[in-house]
Amino acid sequence: MTIDEIQQDIIDEFSEVDDWMDRYAMIIDLGNNLPEIAEQYKTPDHLIEGCQSRVWLNAELTPEGKVHYTADSDAIIVKGIISLLIQVLDNQTPEDILKSDLHFIDAIGLSEHLSPTRSNGLLAMVKQMRLYAMAFKAQQDAAKA
């Protein structure tokens, strides 16, 4: 599936739920189902700067040229948010990640229902995911040269 198709699925799923407490519950469930990040990546090098909570993020480039993300957080809502971002960006090419417009965040009302510190954390998570994609794209471009 493309990034836009995945985003549309998320928008459709969230549009079925009007109450924001229920939407938070959905986000928490996503976090609870997030695959565990390997302990070796729960280091200061993998912490995302700018998040109030601790969020560890790792990315690897697969042999197929796609980015695979793993993450964890010590806060249940934040773990759900990073899970949503991984759902959208995982197993996509670095180029597709870099050119993506993550419109689902506004479309489901997430940004308007987060505290300012959580919103900053969300931006920091997206930024770090894009930085990984940028590094992998540079690697791919160098290999082609």
Question: Has 108 been annotated as catalytic?
Answer: no
Residue 114, C-beta contacts closer than 8 angstroms, at least 6 positions apart: 122
The distance in angstroms from the start CA to the end CA of the chain is 29
Tokens linked to 91: 């197993």
Single-letter code of the amino acid located at 14: F
d(C-alpha 35, C-alpha 30), whole Å: 10
Gap between the Cα atoms of 85 and 55, Å rounded: 13
Catalytic: which of 30, 37, 51, 82? Answer: 51
Catalytic residues: 51
